Chains A and B, each alone.
Chain A
Amino acid sequence: NAGVTQTPKFRVLKTGQSMTLLCAQDMNHEYMYWYRQDPGMGLRLIHYSVGEGTTAKGEVPDGYNVSRLKKQNFLLGLESAAPSQTSVYFCASSYLWVYEQYFGPGTRLTVT
C-alpha cells in the first residue's frame, strides 16, 4: 500500500517549456487534489477532481490543466511554464471531500 505517490520529485524547466506531473493513489479514493505551496503562503488549491473523468478549478487554476482519465491517477500539466510557477506541488486524495486528505511527498519545480 504505497498511499499517494508523485513523479517526478524534482524538475527544472526553462520558461516556455511544458511538463506533466503525475499523481497516483492506491486507496480507491474518489477525491483528488493538486496544491501548490509557496513560502509564507501555505497551500493553495489549483484543481481538484470529485471522481474519474471529472475536474474542477480551485483557487489558482490559471496556467495549469488537469486530467483524471483513471480513478487512481490525477495529472497536472503546465503548457508553457513561467517563473511564477516555481513552487512545491502536492497531490492529495481523500475518501470524502477534504476530510482526512492523504498527501503525496511533493514535487519541487523550478522554472528559470
Chain B
Amino acid sequence: EDKVVQSPLSLVVHEGDTVTLNCSYEVTNFRSLLWYKQEKKAPTFLFMLTSSGIEKKSGRLSSILDKKELFSILNITATQTGDSAVYLCAVEAAGNDMRFGAGTRLTVKP
C-alpha cells in the first residue's frame, strides 16, 4: 500500500536554529513530491520536486529529493517564530493518486 511517512512528528527549536524535516515514501509509479506549510488553516504550497539531487530553494527554505532512497528533506535555516507551522509532505503517483504524510509540527521559540 502506498504510504508517506514524515519525521519527526513534532519539533521544538529556538530562533536562529537550523532544522531538517524528513519525508520518506513508498508509492507505485512516483511522479512528484510536494511540500506545504500549514499555519492555522489552509496549507500553502512551498515546493514541487520531480528530479533527484536538484535542490529547490526559496529564501531560508530549501528541499531536495532522493529517488533512489525514496525520501526528501526540507531544510529551514535561521528559523524565525513565523516558521512555526505544520509542514506537510505529499507524493503524487500515477493514476492521479495523491498521498499526504501526517505532517511535522514545528514550533520556533523566541
Interface on A for B, CB 8 Å cutoff? 4, 33, 35, 40-45, 48, 50, 56, 58-59, 90, 97-106
Contacts and interface: CB of A to CB of B under 8 A. Distances in A.
Contact of B45 (A41, A48, A58, A101): A101
B16 interface: no
A97 B96 contact: yes
A43 B48 contact: no
A105 B98 contact: no
Contact of A58 (B34, B44, B90, B98): B98
Q: How large is the interface on B (under 10, 10 to 19, 20 to 34, 35 or more residues)?
A: 20 to 34
A42 B45 CA distance: 15
B75 interface: no
A112 B83 CA distance: 36
B88 A43 contact: yes
B98 A104 contact: no
B42 A98 contact: no
Which label, helix, strand, loop or mixed, suits the secondary structure of the B interface? strand
A48 to B, nearest CB: 7
Interface of B: 4, 32, 34, 41-45, 48, 88, 90, 92, 96-103
B41 A40 contact: no
B48 A90 contact: no
Contact of A103 (B42, B98, B101): B42
A100 B43 contact: no
B102 A98 contact: no
Given A43-B43, A43-B88, 18 more contacts: A35-B100, A42-B103, A44-B100, A45-B98, A48-B96, A50-B96, A59-B97, A59-B98, A59-B99, A90-B42, A90-B43, A97-B92, A97-B96, A100-B45, A102-B45, A103-B44, A105-B41, A106-B42
